Chains A and B, each alone.
Chain A
Amino acid sequence: MSVSMKTSSASVTCARGNDGRGGLLPRLWRGWREGGRGRAAVNRSTRDIWWRMAWRNLWRNRRRTALTASALSFGFVAAVLMMGFMNGMMEEMVSNGTEVVTGQIQIHAERYRPERSIHDTMGGREGLDVSALVAAAAAQEGVAGVAPRLYGGGLVSSGDETVGAVLMGVDPELERRVSRFASVFVEGRMPGPGEVAVGAALAGKIGVAVGDEAVLVAPAADGSTGNDLFTVSGIYRLGLGGFDDSYALLELGTLQDFLAMSQGRIHEVAISVDRVRDADPVAESVAGAVAGLSPDLVTEPWSVFLGQLYFVVSLASAMNSIVAFIIFGMAVFGVANTMLLATFERRREFAVARALGTSGGALGRIVVYEGLLLGVVALAAGAALAFPLLAHVHANPIDLSFFIGTYSFMGSAIRPLLTVEYSFVEPLVSAVALLGTGIVSALLPAWRVARLPPADVLADR
């Protein structure tokens, strides 16, 4: 601390002491506090000058700074956009993978999966209060639809043709809010009592049309064999092979009767959520809400019951991070090279500052500040470009149907649309990565500057 400051503090204290105000301790306290203020002001001005020098140095060669910042900005835009596209594609995959049939959350009896035995209904063989279960789940925040389901395996025949099929009992009204069955009928409608709706491929195999009759045969829960005649109410086409050629939909009560089950017996409750990314927390709250209805209920989000899809999404997320790392990693070398050049050009100035008594650490700090400020400038420019672009592509997905058609991947129909989904996380991570890039790029130049031999540099050796 400077002598002059101590002197100044002492003189203030002395002046007050002469006024006769306050004893020794208050005077010491005032002196210390004023000294502290002085120290803070000095530290602040030293810090300020390093920042000021870094900022001004940055703009000494505007073209170079603009080019370097552009490279970083481009990296930021590329990273944010690339992650947005990947997120968009994954969200599309997850949405399609879960909105078509499964929903984003499912409730089963604990033992139902993976065997899917007809006997493993919720609440055991007694069943449970399905309405209460549906109501409890539907009451949770974030839940968009709740649909109870019952499954059986059997044969569907018409004329001489017979095929094996999964019989799926649904509540047509509730099902509309969870799956796409109701919206993909190419002919007819969802089944009512005594009716069956079949997939287009299955209908083709057994040669039925709407209004025709089909015979269903299936082992019932009581050991008997259900055997009955049903009218085809409609033919749907989901676009997913497994459902179009081997699923037959019946009204829930009808299938319960057919399989000799009481009205309280169901295998599954499928739940759709308002936002797919909220499936996990919503599943938790649903699990809590329905736990009291039966002790054997298991509530799972799609990431559990569609494990493969979740794996692909996680893989994509990891790839996002790797690609972002590569983008910024490449930027580090480019920026470090530019900064090495910039600091080399100014080595004489650094040597002078060193000769005047500036520590190597302080000089290194100036260079690191330059890197950080370069990052901030690049971030501002990148954000100004990236966010409107993200919002635009989010609202107006890029149509790639010119190049490719709709395709199916892991049971999910993917539209040829390049859309972006974004949250605050990716831009935030990219921003931190960009600023980190600026700092990391400056470390080597800073280290070299801190070790400059002033006499040799001043003598141009």
Chain B
Amino acid sequence: MNEHAVRTEDLWKIYPQDPRPVEAVRGVDLVVAPGEFVVMAGPSGSGKTTVLNLLGGLTRPTRGKVWIEGREISALPDKALAQVRLSRIGFVFQSYNLLPVLTALENAEFTLLLQGVSPAERRRRVRRLFRQIGLEGIEDRRPPKLSGGQQQRVAVARAVLGEPALVLADEPTANLDSATADALLDVMEQLNRDNGTTFVFSTHDPRVMERASRLIRLVDGRVAEETVSGDAA
């Protein structure tokens, strides 16, 4: 087993912009162990989402390196990077981002399908997880027919079903009411606890921060503070 689920070294992201470039991430060094429930918090513009995008290989660092389970991904070609995302990383986005032409079940099994899992096995895994997270009975509904909470739970299902090493969740509770957000966080905590899935959140939602095993505060693209569970609040 790898010592680190994810590790970064002197991570920089600079966006070329007039009148001067924007330094969104400035030398972030980060280590996340397998099975951690890490929350990155910070005000808007602090670089949380950019760090998540860098960890997920959605964008390339201007400088520095990212390792996922010991494999350096920052210099991988696009195709290989897509393969890493497919097999090792799950994403949960703020605005759910389900594919509207697919049903809840098809959305959830999307990653499994890309991974080449057989149809029977896909259905079996999806139905089992849907039962586990209270999505039974909505399998054939398309996203517009689902509530925000249901959509976000489908998105979580999609992220974790492929059994990734790391799930990156960008403001997953931002569009949810308190009860729904709590229920969703329960689901994620349960998956973290039961399956050992590593979660890295970006958020400024205190409810998420409360549940963090480690809280990392970002300010102006730098890690300003790290707090381990128990001291987080």
Contact = CB atoms under 8 A, between A and B. Distances in A.
A360 B78 contact: yes
Most buried by B among A353, A360, A456, A459: A459
Interface stretch (A37-45, A146-154, A195-203, A405-413): A37-45
Given A358-B82, A459-B49, A1 B116 contact: yes
Given A2-B118, A42-B117, A453-B59, A357 B83 contact: yes
Nearest to A45: B119
Contacts of A16: none
A352 B116 contact: no
Contacts of B110: 49, 353, 356
Contacts of A41: 118-119
Interface in B105-132: 106, 110-111, 113-119, 121
A42 B116 contact: yes
B93 interface: yes
Given A42-B116, A45-B119, A46-B114, A355 B101 contact: no
B58 interface: yes
Nearest to B155: A352
Contact of B101 (A42, A56, A358, A454): A56
Contacts of B106: 49
A456 B59 contact: yes
A355 B170 CA distance: 13
Interface in B61-92: 78-79, 82-83, 85-87, 89, 91
A45 B53 CA distance: 29
A60 interface: yes
Interface residues of B, number: 32
A8 B53 CA distance: 35
A8 B121 contact: yes
B56 interface: yes
Nearest to B84: A357
Contact of A356 (B78, B91, B100, B119): B91
A5 B117 contact: yes
Contacts of B83: 357
B141 to A, nearest CB: 14
Contact of A455 (B58, B101, B111): B58
A5 B101 contact: no
A168 to B, nearest CB: 75
A355 B116 contact: no
Interface size class on chain A is 20 to 34
A148 to B, nearest CB: 73
B147 interface: no
B146 interface: no
B102 interface: yes
B142 to A, nearest CB: 9
A118 B86 CA distance: 88
A357 B118 contact: no
Interface string B33-62: 000000000000000010001001011000
A362 to B, nearest CB: 8
Nearest to A60: B101
Is chain A's interface secondary structure helix, strand, loop, or mixed overall? helix
Most buried by A among B53, B101, B111: B101
A319 interface: no
The 9 closest A-B pairs by CB, nearest first: A357-B86, A455-B59, A56-B101, A455-B58, A455-B53, A357-B85, A352-B97, A2-B117, A42-B116
A53 B99 contact: yes
A357 B87 contact: yes
A351 to B, nearest CB: 8
A4 B58 CA distance: 28
Contacts of B82: 354, 357-360
Nearest to A39: B116
B118 A8 contact: yes
Interface in A37-92: 38, 41-42, 45-46, 49, 52-53, 56-57, 60
Contacts of B158: 356
Interface string A323-365: 0000000000000000000000000110011111111100000
A454 B97 CA distance: 12
Contacts of A458: 53, 58, 93, 97
B155 to A, nearest CB: 9
Contact of B113 (A8, A45, A453): A45
Interface in A239-287: none
Contacts of B78: 360
A460 B106 CA distance: 26
Contact of A357 (B49, B100, B101, B111): B111
6 contacts: A45-B113, A56-B101, A356-B91, A453-B59, A458-B58, A459-B53
A352 B85 contact: no
Contacts of B114: 46, 356-358
A38 B118 CA distance: 7
Nearest to B158: A356
Contact of B115 (A2, A60, A353): A2
Most buried by B among A1, A348, A358: A358
A350 to B, nearest CB: 10
B156 to A, nearest CB: 13
A4 B93 contact: no
Contacts of A53: 99, 101-102
Contact of A352 (B59, B93, B118, B119): B93
